[in-house]
Amino acid sequence: MTDLLNDLLIRNARPYGDEAVDLLVQDGVVTGIGTGLTAPEGTEVFDAGGHVLLPGLVDLHVHLREPGGEESETIETGSHAAALGGFTAVFAMPNTDPVADTAVVVEHVRRRGEEVGLVDVHPVGAVTTGLKGEKLAELGTMAASAAQVRMFSDDGRCVNDPLIMRRALEYASALDVVIAQHAEDHRLTDGAQAHEGAIASRLGLAGWPATAEETVVARDCALAREAGAALHVCHVSSLHSIAVLRAAKAQGVRVSAEVTPHHLLLTDGRLTGYDPVNKVNPPLRTGADTQAMREALAEGVIDVVATDHAPHASQYKDTEWAAAKPGMLGLQTALSVVIHTMVEPGLLDWHGVARVMSERPAEIGNLPDQGRPIAVGEPATFALVDPDAQWTVRGPALASRAANTPYEGMRLPGAVVATVLRGRITARDGKVVA
Amino acid sequence: MANDRRGDVGEGQDPARELLSSADVARTIARIAHQIIEKTAFGPGNTGDLVLLGIPTRGAVLARRLAAAITEFTGVAPAVGSVDPTLYRDDLRRGPTRALVDTAVPEGGIDGKLVVLVDDVLMSGRTTRAALDALSDEGRPRAVQLAVLVDRGHRELPIRADYVGKNVPTSRAEKILVRLTESDDRDGVLIQRPGAAPAEPGVGTEAEPSVGTEAEPTIGTEAEPTTDGDDA
Amino acid sequence: MKHLLSIADLDAATATGLLDTASRLKDTLLGREVRKLPTLRGRTVVTLFYEDSTRTRVSFEIAGKWMSADTINVSAKGSSVSKGESLRDTSLTISAMGADCVIVRHPASGAAHRIAAWADKDAGTTGTHTSIVNAGDGTHEHPTQALLDAATLRERLGSVAGRRIGIVGDVLHSRVARSNVLLLSTLGAEVVLIAPPTLLPTGVAEWPCRVAHHLDAELPALDAVMMLRVQAERMHGGFFPSAREYSIAYGLDERRLALLPEGTPVLHPGPMVRGMEIAPAVADAPNAAVLAQVRNGVHVRMAVLYHLLAGAPE
């Protein structure tokens, strides 16, 4: 039986910004691409208005806060934000309460994602029990569970102990899963509040030195090389880390890396008013760093954009700087920031955007039905983008429970017109399609 | 912040009309000096009592001029200094923060002395009131008298000058500009009609925007110019 | 001036205006039996201190009282802060009670900035206006300390412009050093920071000052020297090998005092650790300006209150 809900005729869409075509979708799969296509009676016809069609976006790094942090975000509100941002799959980090370090918790997250049904929610399992960095969590059990965990991370904390990290990589190599490292040597960032540099020194904020990232990236690349394991470096922020990644990739180390939209655009110059909406970990760095991030992303040394979407209710942000929790919203602004920082300057074309926001993330996260080419026989999982639209970011208008966007009041290019997950429209014209 | 004590000056507008020329100012000061000598019996053998205290900026200049004139006429010098009423004003919150100026009480203080307060223009009397309060924190004079170069009326407090250089009936909207070479470029007293700018770059105390009560009409008071008495 | 949060917000004219006011207030009160001015009658000044402090809080309190403001002290220990109330709620509550000025000390850098932002936002809806004074925020700034230091230097040296001032010690953790570097350089002085590299922040190269590591080499050319306190907790943080080695390398003893030009003022923000950064004989020498600093502190804080509260609200 064909589920009519997942049948669709998309007219006048431009895949990857190329020539306009029609796409026929049946049972969630693309069955025809051409001009002047017709569909069986009763099929929903969707006029794409000549906008750019991309494979659905995949985010390797989000915090959905459920369970335990529902005052800031839930899997439902986070799924709304993801769908509205053009995402069809997200990886939910395990720093919840309880921590996602057992099959029970990861299965709960996966199931809640399926119930909401707007985006594929893939739980990331913790590398160590309780994110304490002391003892490996049950990686094999979580991988084999109904949640089918394919990525593990202690994100928010670094697996600081080199021996634990070595064991995690070795153990993971047999499970065909990836270890995603929050690269931060905590000994070097004790009390850190901001990028260590001229601005933090003037503001009297304890510095987070770039070397705390660079040294862990270098160490982990060596460990991954010896273990033959897949390593993913979360939210690269320092230009010095890029040289390390380039060298490791040249050696054939199985390492991938992500950059956040905010590390492509924002710098520590924003800290002068001490508004904690700009507090994030790793911290906003210098203009030289953002420039290096853009170039590395264009070059492929950094593989993907991941949002590190980190909602925090106002009581965790509307405080003095030191007391504020680090993190910022990202799901609904990511594509616009990438258009602004990468497409407009000519560093990426739409094929490039598809690569860094859909295809490579799906490969790294081991998702066989995401990040696929727009072609006959492939899943009808898309993001439709109006590249000429302009919009002004307003935190309270975003779908997340929290409003901690650093882009408040900024005018950004590009709008997600529709998101399609296996033939089903999940968001359209800025509204979730429930 | 130290406010700019000068008014904005437009160009090509009506010049202010001169009330007292440079020579008039000199004659007026000399006359007041004689009156002070007469009224206080200051002179050789009676020098210990009199203290002239000017209200900055131009009142302090006038006090020094009066002291010089008294010295010339009597051969002995009276004590002279200045008292800044700013910290005692009742209108501080009505304008930008005022810069403080010198309070210089002469050696020997004011306790038991006859103090003559000196100011350039007397209008509402509020500056004088503030100066009297400042004086009372400095000490306890035997008596206090008031000398002004121009009395333009519009009193808001029961204050009257003992020595007046010239009574000038004015409307509240008019400005009186006093110029003294020590603080400005020449001596003279000008009157400026509403809307006209000073003939020269803003110099008179009266030209200060929003800082002087003397220049500000006060809500609810009679706008009728007063002409109480001739020159003293 | 709406708030006093950072010396960085003051240009040379504004800073000089504050110092001039302080000096006139000092002259005005000199020798008076009754040290009370009516200027801020009916205004309410609240000190909100989240850190222990005697001299700064008392200095502000005296300054307020001498200007006839009603001065109320709130310490974090005795308020609802200990019940877990947020800084935002506490500060807005104090504003709502009618404080015209809140003087805040807090261990977090930028706390005064945040309170000012909340107060301004609140003023937009309620029409009330509260000025915020930073009395020390974390390792960021301590603006009134720098102003009183500059006032003391002006008294001792005639003027600050063109003078070479050495600041010695734990610059990294010192809000006094940050404010002083900004203020003294704004006033035209040449500032030299003298400290081991571990006690200098990364990024200090972009500050408006010079950096040196050898005290003996700098002393003969200084017009004034400011010693910073070395806090006990730093001694165990690995910033330097031992108190003894620090004292040998950076302590101001009598031998070093002799290297300074005759009569060079020695400043210290207090409290002093005698025998550590400053030898007892130096602390009590005629050069030492420590008590003059404390005296000037009251007048400088009166000047700050005058500039914030005496004029029309901005």
| Region label for A156, one of left (φ > 0), alpha (ψ between -120 and 50) or beta (otherwise) | left
For residues A194 and A271, the answer to whether their CB atoms sit within 8 Å is: yes
Pairing of strands B143-151, B114-122: parallel
Q: Cα(B131)–Cα(B117) distance, rounded to whole angstroms?
A: 8
* Percent of chain C scoring above 90 in pLDDT: 83
DSSP 3-state of A171: helix
Average pLDDT over residues B74-91: 94
Tell me the pLDDT tens digit for each residue of C26-63.
999 987 878 899 999 999 999 999 998 889 999 999 99
* Full 3-state SS string of chain B: CCCCCCCCCCCCCCCCEEEECHHHHHHHHHHHHHHHHHHHCCECCECCCEEEEECCCHHHHHHHHHHHHHHHHHCCCCEEEECCCHHHCCCHHHCCCCCCCCCECCCCCCCCCEEEEEEEEECCCHHHHHHHHHHHHHCCCCEEEEEEEEECCCCCCCCCCCEEEEECCCCCCCEEEEECCCCCCCCEEEEECCCCCCCCCCCCHHHCCCCCHHHCCCCCCCCCCCCCCCCC
Q: Contacts of residue C140 in chain A, CB cutoff 8 Å?
A: 203-205
Q: Cα(A414)–Cα(A393) distance, rounded to whole angstroms?
A: 12
Average pLDDT over residues C268-296: 94
Tell me the pLDDT tens digit for each residue of A280-338.
999 999 999 999 999 999 999 999 999 999 999 999 999 999 999 999 999 999 999 99
Q: Cα(C65)–Cα(C42) distance, rounded to whole angstroms?
A: 11
What domains are there in chain A, each with its CATH number? 1-50 (no CATH), 56-364 (3.20.20.140)
Residue A174 has pLDDT above 60, yes or no: yes
Residue of A nearest to C203 (CA): A198
CA distance, residue A272 to nearest chain C CA (Å): 9
Give the DSSP H or E segment for A315.
Answer: helix A314-317
* Other beta carbons within 10 Å of B99: 18
Length of chain B in terms of residues written? 232
Closest listed residue to residue B13, CA positions, set B183, B209, B185, B201: B201
Angle B72-B75-B79 (CA atoms, 0-180°, nearest 5)? 85
CA distance, residue A234 to nearest chain C CA (Å): 25
Tell me the pLDDT tens digit for each residue of A390-413.
999 999 999 999 999 999 999 999
Is B138 at the interface with chain C, CB within 8 A? Answer: yes
Query: Which residue has 């939210």 as its token pair?
Result: A235
B137, C34: Cβ pair inside 8 Å?
Answer: yes
What token pair was written down for C55? Answer: 């001299």
Q: Which residues pair with A13 in a beta bridge?
A: A21
Query: Model pTM?
Result: 0.91
- pLDDT-derived band at A6, boundaries 50, 70, 90: confident
* C-alpha distances out from residue A157 to A136, A180, A181, A189, A244, Å: 14, 11, 9, 11, 21
Give the DSSP letter string of A217-228: HHHHHHHHHHHT
Average pLDDT over residues B119-147: 95
Pairing of strands B163-167, B143-151: parallel
Tell me the pLDDT tens digit for each residue of A368-381.
999 999 999 999 99
- A369 as an active site residue: the answer is no
- pLDDT-derived band at C84, boundaries 50, 70, 90: confident
Query: Residue A367 contacts by C-beta under 8 Å, 6 or more apart in sequence?
Result: A58, A89, A120, A122, A150
* Other beta carbons within 10 Å of C39: 22
A205, C114: Cβ pair inside 8 Å?
Answer: no
Closest listed residue to residue C88, CA positions, set A215, A297, A276: A276
Give the DSSP H or E segment for C266.
Answer: strand C266-267
Residue A243 has pLDDT above 70, yes or no: yes
A193, C204: Cβ pair inside 8 Å?
Answer: no
For residues A386 and A49, the answer to whether their CB atoms sit within 8 Å is: yes
More confident residue, A67 or B220: A67
In this complex, the residue of C13, C20, C28 whose CB is nearest that of residue B103 is: C28
For residues A105 and A67, the answer to whether their CB atoms sit within 8 Å is: yes
Residue of B nearest to C23 (CA): B100
Is C81 at the interface with chain A, CB within 8 A? Answer: no
Tell me the pLDDT tens digit for each residue of A127-170.
999 999 999 999 999 999 999 999 999 999 999 999 999 999 99
What domains are there in chain C, each with its CATH number? 7-141+294-309 (3.40.50.1370), 144-289 (3.40.50.1370)
Is B224 at the interface with chain C, CB within 8 A? Answer: no
Residue A96 has pLDDT above 80, yes or no: yes
In this complex, the residue of C21, C36, C312 whose CB is nearest that of residue B96 is: C312
Residue B203 has pLDDT above 60, yes or no: no
The rounded Cα B213 to chain-centroid distance in angstroms is 13
Is the peptide bond preceding residue B57 cis, with omega within 30 degrees of 0? yes
| A&C contacts, CB < 8 Å | 76
- Looking at chain A, which subunits does it touch, using at least 3 CB pairs closer than 8 Å as the criterion? C
B97, C37: Cβ pair inside 8 Å?
Answer: no
Q: Cα(C227)–Cα(C269) distance, rounded to whole angstroms?
A: 8
The stretches of chain C forming alpha helices (DSSP H) are 12-29, 55-66, 87-96, 111-126, 143-157, 175-186, 215-218, 232-235, 243-250, 254-259, 280-283, 290-309
CA distance, residue C172 to nearest chain A CA (Å): 8
Q: Which of A308, A318, A386, A429 is catalytic?
A: A308
CATH assignment, B23-169: 3.40.50.2020
Domain ranges of chain B: 23-169
Whole-number pLDDT of residue A71? 97
Is A209 at the interface with chain C, CB within 8 A? Answer: yes
CA distance, residue C21 to nearest chain B CA (Å): 6
| Region label for A102, one of left (φ > 0), alpha (ψ between -120 and 50) or beta (otherwise) | beta
Tell me the pLDDT tens digit for each residue of A215-231.
999 999 999 999 999 99
Residue A191 has pLDDT above 60, yes or no: yes
Q: Point out the least confidently predicted range of A36-40, A291-295, B97-101, B214-218.
A: B214-218
Whole-number pLDDT of residue C79? 58
> Mutate which of A201, A205, A279 to disrupt the C interface (most C C-beta within 10 Å)?
A201
Tell me the pLDDT tens digit for each residue of C178-200.
999 999 999 999 999 999 999 99
Whole-number pLDDT of residue C82? 61
Average pLDDT over residues A23-48: 94
Give the count of alpha carbons within 13 A of B219, CB side only: 1
- pLDDT-derived band at B207, boundaries 50, 70, 90: very low
For residues A42 and A61, the answer to whether their CB atoms sit within 8 Å is: no
What token pair was written down for A6? Answer: 């997942």
Average pLDDT over residues B208-229: 33
In this complex, the residue of C88, C114, C141 whose CB is nearest that of residue A204 is: C141
The CA-based dihedral angle spanning residues C300, C301, C305, C306, taken in that order and rounded to the nearest 10 degrees:
-30
Per-chain mean pLDDT for chain C: 94
